[in-house]
Copies of this chain bind each other. A is one copy, B any other.
């Protein structure tokens, strides 16, 4: 038996989550897999902090419950992580293997493998933590074509920074928004965006978008929702597309902001499509084939915001909703 510290959801969260909504539990774990089981016991190395986790902290929503299972009060929360196999009852994995996928926020997890639930990490010449973010999501570029104008919100975040760089590789004109001047500098100088603005310093988001996109937006990669979406709708081009990846500005509101400019989609023939990355995991190996060379050549860069230790988990997760993270927020549980 070994000790196994866990991060537990105290109760369903209303409004912005507080650190006190997450409590620690000193559990123990049997460091073996029962004989005959095909489960895998892993030691968790890195955990990912992602905005969608807020949706799982709320009360079950009857209209979405089947799609986004909420966390259970009294139980450890869970999310994407990078882990090392300690013992395996599964034929595809053996002791010492590395994998990424959904694990508990705890030092050790016992996981059940289902198709595309976890991925073995075969390339370790890039930072292992990248598999919580940069190399942990796929398919996000399918929407952009050479010469198109692309707008990304929450552009310095885990997804945004990658979307922007991939769109640049595809030959697009790319603009990002973020919530501090430090982040805007990153967008322009580190990630190579053509333009960027701090949405907190703009009096009028519509005017900011018109300044950056005098001819309008072909593709909007939506991470925030609310007022930004309303301003974007006024600036979409004919036949524009909106890929809805997330709406972080709305997750903590008891009543969501109303989006008022939706009728513009009619004359502009705009397509708005929600998507969830797990639908594209069958393309993960193709994605790796595409993106790894760019990382190795330094043509794609990645900024991470690293919290050291599971005990920093709650504040790191909560910080997301106040824009405290610069780049991909992750937690180091263990270095090996």
Contacts and interface: CB of A to CB of B under 8 A. Distances in A.
Interface stretch (A8-16, A132-140, A164-172, A261-269): A261-269
A126 interface: no
Contacts of A261: 256
A259 interface: yes
A67 B272 contact: no
Question: Which residue, of A238, A272, A274, has the highest number of chain B Cβ atoms within 10 A?
Answer: A274
A296 interface: no
Contacts of A246: 266
Contacts of A55: 267
Nearest to A55: B267
A202 interface: no
Contact of A258 (B67, B258, B263, B274): B258
A67 B267 contact: yes
Tell me the dominant secondary structure on chain A's binding face: loop
Interface string A270-308: 111111100100000000000000000000000000000
A234 interface: yes
A62 to B, nearest CB: 9
Nearest to A66: B238
A224 to B, nearest CB: 11
Contacts of A182: none
28 contacts: A55-B267, A63-B264, A64-B264, A64-B267, A64-B268, A67-B238, A68-B267, A225-B262, A225-B263, A229-B262, A247-B263, A247-B266, A250-B263, A251-B263, A256-B262, A256-B263, A257-B260, A258-B258, A259-B259, A262-B262, A266-B274, A267-B276, A268-B274, A269-B276, A270-B273, A271-B271, A271-B272, A271-B273
